[in-house]
Amino acid sequence: MPFPSDLTPGPKDFWFLPLGGTGEIGMNMNLYGHNGQWLMVDCGVMFDKTRLQPDGSNSVVSADPHFISLRRQRLVGLVVTHAHEDHVGAIPYLWKELQCPVYTTAFTAEILRRKLVEAGLEEHVPIIEVDTGDLLKIGHFEIEWLSITHSLPEPHALLIRAGGSTVFHTADWKIDFDPVLGHQFQPQVFKQLASRKIKAMICDSTNAVVPGHSISEGDCFSGLLQLTRQAEGRVIVACFGSNVARLITLSRIAEQTGRYMALYGRSLRNMVGAAKKTGHWPDNAKVADGRHLGYLPRHEVLGVATGSQGEAAAALRKMALGTFRDLELEAGDTVIFSSKVIPGNEAAVGSLVSMLRQKDIQVIESADTESPIHASGHPCQEELTQLYDWVKPKISIPVHGTPEHINANAAIAREVGITTQLCGENGDLYRLAPTVGMKRKAVKTGRLFHDRQ
Ligand SMILES: [Zn+2]
Ligand SMILES: [Zn+2]
């Protein structure tokens, strides 16, 4: 069955069209099409290592929304699943091309609002806040928000219903029974999907090549506590700014080890500010003023710093260079990387680590310890098997991964007994109803580079 030449979905059609994030990791941009309308799910960026800004930080890149900006009057809304940059970060840059209502939950809305204020767009973008469990009609689409676990506050999966078929869009997820913050993973929510005859499961492939089960966020506590206890001088922990649960863990560790925790880096303070505003930060989790920690005895300092990927403009590199204003590191201090190196950043992290070691600062990375000090937010093979087995979709559509990750995810689905897997990349048009199929390279895709605001 051919697709219509103008690529406008008819009343019986239900299509999926990724413009970004499928065939790669980062800059997600997904479209669903039905009955003359399109719905966008997520609109993110990734960092471009080849282009540096004047301050040494990376430029950002997003998917090119050209296809949908040509059909803007058919775009009924943008749903944002969670507040990671690869899902929300492009909205300020691409707003002019989209200009549709944005639907998301409170924490993600708060993060988005802060970005819009910086871009001078806060008056222009209509944000509609939804709650977990809400069922909303957006144009001809019905959307249901399901709470799932990941590595920041308020991650959501979506049920999207159109033309009598239901799609389960997992977004980023893992199975975590001790996420430290927010709801724990609730199997019954996903087990009951089997009775709802899910047509397709559009699924995170980030860790589909990793055997076993992801580490629980709660399991990072004892490893980090032990390392902090052993340290004699200052302790600096580098972690991803958005992992609010990890920051809560570190505040507990500071309390138990007689240290004061402070945050170094704007993105960390921004995330904690948003977490406080939306009720995700416990009142008794104390954060000290970073400017004061330099005056304290070294064994009372626990700093959390941005720059776990070796970023040139981030706090940790400045500390390594001795150019950080608020805190100076000395021989005998400890830097803990509570993070993983994102592929492509090995050289930047390597040079940062050697700079620190040259100053006789002890550096501890995830691979150096037996107890976990970092937990990924994405599902490993056992979790993928489990979720496919619960949901039992007719079709598996792996996304959020390179072709290698996508194929690995599809192989797992096949093993579980999901008979149809559709593996493609950005620009491929997936037909979910009335018949199943796909058209490769149906839409021209591309990248847009943006100067960071
Ligand atoms: Zn994410
Ligand atoms: Zn993601």
Q: pLDDT for 58-68, tens place per residue? A: 689 999 999 99
CA of 296 to the centre of ligand 2 (A): 38
Q: Which ligand is nearest to the CA of 401?
A: 2
Predicted confidence at residue 342, as pLDDT, reads: 87
CA of 125 to the centre of ligand 2 (A): 23
CA of 1 to the centre of ligand 2 (A): 33
Residue 425 carries which DSSP code?
-
Q: Cα dist. 164→34, 138, 159, 161, 198 in Å?
A: 11, 15, 12, 7, 11
Q: Does residue 259 have a pLDDT over 90?
A: yes
Predicted confidence at residue 255, as pLDDT, reads: 98
Q: Does residue 89 have a pLDDT over 70?
A: yes
CA of 155 to the centre of ligand 1 (A): 8
- CB contact set of 306 (below 8 Å; sequence gap of 6+): 238, 241, 264, 265, 266, 267, 268, 314, 315, 316
Provide the whole-model pTM: 0.96
Rounded Cα gap, residues 418 and 421, in angstroms: 7
Rounded Cα gap, residues 449 and 162, in angstroms: 33
Q: Which ligand is nearest to the CA of 152?
A: 1
Predicted confidence at residue 52, as pLDDT, reads: 66
Query: What average pLDDT does the segment 265-282 reach?
Result: 96
Predicted confidence at residue 59, as pLDDT, reads: 81
Element containing residue 31 per DSSP (H, E) = strand 29-34
Q: Cα dist. 112→69, 101, 368, 397 in Å?
A: 21, 13, 36, 28
Phi-psi region of 136 (alpha: psi -120 to 50; beta: other; left: phi over 0): beta
CA of 82 to the centre of ligand 1 (A): 7
CA angle 313, 319, 325 (to 5 degrees): 85
- In this structure, what token pair is assigned to residue 110? 């708060």
pLDDT confidence of 36, banded at 50, 70, 90? Answer: very high
Predicted confidence at residue 55, as pLDDT, reads: 66
Question: Which range, of 49-58, 239-248, 297-306, 331-340, averages the lowest pLDDT?
Answer: 49-58
Q: Which ligand is nearest to the CA of 240?
A: 1
For the chain, how are helix, strand and coil distributed in percent, rounded to 5?
30, 25, 40
CA of 298 to the centre of ligand 1 (A): 35
Q: pLDDT for 163-205, tens place per residue? A: 999 999 999 999 999 999 999 999 999 999 999 999 999 999 9
